[in-house]
């Protein structure tokens, strides 16, 4: 997705940035189903700087789910 020029579906802007949900604490992290003792991984979201429309959601560390 980074190699393609993103255009917002909602407002037509081409100005995007990436933010993170979760992190060093487990709050906001995605965890494997049924696993309450793991910290899981944060989520990275690429979103429009103009209107906030989310273009991409990506798990930061998918290896924690193998």
pLDDT in tens, 4-41: 799 999 999 999 999 999 877 777 888 888 887 778 89
The DSSP-derived string for 3-47 is TSPP--TTT----EEEEEE--SSSTT-B--TT--S---B-EEEEE
Give the tokens for residue 17. 């940035």
Predicted pLDDT at 52: 97
The beta-strand segments (E) located in the chain are 16-21, 43-48, 54-59
Whole-structure pTM value: 0.78
- Average pLDDT estimate for 38-56: 94
Look at residue 60 and tell me whether its pLDDT is greater than 70. Answer: yes
Give the tokens for residue 57. 């959601």
Predicted pLDDT at 64: 85
């Amino acid at each position: 997705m980074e190699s393609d020029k993103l255009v917002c579906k909602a407002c037509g802007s081409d100005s995007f940035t990436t933010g993170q949900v979760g992190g060093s604490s487990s709050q906001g992290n995605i965890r494997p189903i049924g696993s309450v003792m793991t910290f899981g991984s944060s989520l990275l979201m690429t979103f429009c700087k103009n209107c906030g429309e989310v273009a991409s959601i990506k798990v930061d560390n998918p290896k924690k789910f193998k």
